[in-house]
Amino acid sequence: MQLSPLQRINLPQTEKAGVQLYLKRDDLIHPLYGGNKIRKLKYNVLQCLREGKTGLLTCGGAYSNHIIATAAYGNEHGLKTKAIIRGEELLIENPTLKDAAALGMEFVFVSRENYRNIREHNLLAFELSNSNASAAAENFYFIPEGGTNAFAIEGVAELVNEIEIPFDYLATPCGTGGTFAGLMKGIKNKDAKLLVFSALKNGDYIIDEVAQLLKEDFDRTKLAHFTSDYVFGGYGKMKPELIDFVKSFKKQTGILLDPIYNGKMMFGLLDKIERGYFTKGSVIVALHTGGVQAWRGFGELGIKV
């Protein structure tokens, strides 16, 4: 896996506040599935191979970055891939699932109720979706929704050592909490703090889930702020204000942000900069977790950037 570059972001907000803002461009790791998902998959795939499994099984929504990343990364490692998809089979016509299918991924579509059971019981997915459940389970390695587990945390934690400049704050968007947990584990400098921007409405419960994932590695003093104030209606939703912001950010920097995670994080981060949250001279590194492929799905709805 190639290292992602660190790019300085100069904007009127940063100049006025006297802070330095950098973007860790994990979106450039790979042209198709660049972002935090490859970091989450790295050690999961190694474990799959160690266990002698021949395939990867996971679950997610029809537009999930994790789904396309699993299809691509699994294909590159000669592994079969299968995904339990929340929703109707008609969704296979969307760009994300089309690309995943082209990479050899198979799908099983389940109701939202059954999907909730899958999330809670992991390999129960086979019982819900495969008549040869026990035989299939022997050959597939299960990765949870979003790729979040102990192996994912190890992969994300490595990112922090790639940042070669001293920094005061590290900012990240947050979904299932895997990247949040990995960055918290990776931060060794006691003076560096983490800023977490949830993509979920009322997402504060994720802090407790991350604490459970990290156990003794969870250090609350590393977390400067966790906020669900910039979700723009909730997960997967957006408002014209957010779309206009993403367009403006792209025009000013040349960088495309996705509308699910990074657009909301950067909107929130710049808002905090404008409001004087950071002291003058602060160095902030924000993580671009990828996911720009999501715009193709929104493009079908007539929303383009």
pLDDT digits (tens, 9 = 90+) for 194-243: 999 999 999 999 999 999 999 988 999 999 999 999 999 888 778 899 99
High-pLDDT (> 90) share of the chain, %? 63
pLDDT of residue 114: 79
pLDDT of residue 138: 66
pLDDT digits (tens, 9 = 90+) for 76-94: 999 999 998 987 766 667 8
Tell which CATH classification among 3.40.50.1100, 3.20.130.10, 3.50.50.60, 3.30.420.40 matches the domain 36-147.
3.40.50.1100
* pLDDT > 50? residue 302: no
pLDDT of residue 1: 65
Q: Report the chain's mean pLDDT, rounded to a whole number.
A: 87
Average pLDDT of span 250-278: 95
pLDDT digits (tens, 9 = 90+) for 143-179: 988 888 999 999 999 999 999 999 999 999 999 899 9
The residue ranges of every structural domain in the chain are: 6-33+156-299, 36-147
Q: What single string gives the DSSP state of each residue in the chain?
A: -PPPPEEEE--HHHHHHT-EEEEEEGGGS-TTT-BHHHHHHHHHHHHHHHTT--EEEEEEETT-HHHHHHHHHHHHTT-EEEEEEES-GGGGGSHHHHHHHHTT-EEEEE-HHHHHHHHHHTTHHHHHH-TTHHHHHHHEEE--GGG-SHHHHHHHHHHHHH--S--SEEEEEESSSHHHHHHHHH---TT-EEEEEESSTTTTHHHHHHHHHHGGG--GGGEEEEE-TT-TTSTT---HHHHHHHHHHHHHHS-PPPTTTHHHHHHHHHHHHHTT-SPTT-EEEEEE-B-TTHHHHHHTTT---
pLDDT digits (tens, 9 = 90+) for 98-119: 999 999 999 988 888 778 776 6
pLDDT digits (tens, 9 = 90+) for 134-153: 555 568 999 988 888 999 99
CATH topology (fold) of 6-33+156-299? Rossmann fold (3.40.50)
pLDDT of residue 300: 46
pLDDT of residue 33: 72
Average pLDDT of span 180-205: 93
